[in-house]
Structure 1
């Protein structure tokens, strides 16, 4: 069995999904797990420290049996900036604020509304009939303590349609609210 198959089988056997596996210099093996999700389900609970401990113990046994050479094993949750890699990830986090990087700049497709060499976008993820859309406003955020006039007109809303094949990377935007307001997207995530 390959390393990926060993890790995936072990993690799935514990009732988790494998999000990512990474090998680093110095023998570090990093495994990221999450609770399974399917369309129609509410967002799952976050991965706890106990979940990571259980997965670590089981992976240590499985990797020893397979004779995998590593110095340190790290098992963690995807975190607030979770990578989005599969179509199911995009379905799961529809309506959330995401950071996207395109493989190629948008070029002249934006008809002068966006810089032609722009590849990075932060906005709300939406589904369309043919794929996905990111909606954003190019307006600087107010600095803490800065007064913002109620009369100020907001920047126009912009949108970019894309397919998953056009993406270099995508992840949840690490938006943290320390004031205790409602979580982003209206649900706990």
Structure 2
């Protein structure tokens, strides 16, 4: 995560916790990327019953004020607030815990199972340090969070 994205995340979490109008939202991820000649600050949010356009607008308006106030983004940028989608990323231990029983795709920095760096399975259990997923043939694999390069929910189409 870029330094700007980290600073923005540190501003948003307290806002969601302290503002009654925003307390229903969860910050899923923040990205700060240059695409072509433009910079984009993307903020992904979620709530229990899903995100709609009105939610994105409400959070975007609050973030505009907050970001102008703190001036942590060094370039001009486009702010995009959206849902993380049905294959939302899993970043924190609490994300994995929230989705126990759901299917996920996990990519590791090192081989996770059978010399493969990538597995798909059902999240079976979590701790503060690792996640256990149930993969093929009743096999469970435990993966330390610091060995996970990326993870997201997986939907079979």
TM-score bin, normalised by smaller chain: 0.7 to 0.9
Q: 1:21 to 1:132 in 2, by over 3 A?
A: closer
Counterpart Cα distance in 1 of 2:126 and 2:42: 35
Deviation at 1:165, TM superposition (A): 2.5
User: In structure 2, how many angstroms separate the alpha carbons of the residues matched to 1:175 and 1:56?
Assistant: 32
Cα distance in 2, alignment partners of residues 63 and 104 from structure 1: 37
Q: Does 1:88 align with 2:87?
A: no
Counterpart position of 2:29: 20
Alpha-carbon separation, structure 2, partners of 1:52 and 1:132: 31
Q: Is the CA contact (8 Å cut-off) linking 1:95 and 1:125 kept in structure 2?
A: yes
Q: Give how far 1:101 is off.
A: 0.9
CA radius of gyration, larger in: 1
Q: Where does structure 1 differ by over 4 angstroms across 4 or more consecutive aligned residues?
A: 128-131
Q: TM-score, normalised by structure 2?
A: 0.77
Q: Which has the higher strand share?
A: 2
Q: Counterpart of 2:124?
A: 126
TM-score by length of 1: 0.65
Deviation at 1:128, TM superposition (A): 6.7
Which fold has the larger relative contact order, with Cα–Cα distance below 8 Å and residues 6 or more apart in sequence?
1
Aligned-partner Cα distance in 2 for 1:6–1:157:
43
* Deviations 1:122-155 (CA, angstroms, capped at 9, x unpaired): 1111017895322223xxxxxxxxxxxxxxxxxx
Aligned length: 141
What corresponds to 1:136 in structure 2? 135
Question: Which sections of structure 2, spanning at least 5 residues, go unmatched?
Answer: 1-6
Residue in 1 aligned with 2:46? 34
> Structure 1 pair 55/20, CA: closer, same or farther in 2 (3 Å)?
same
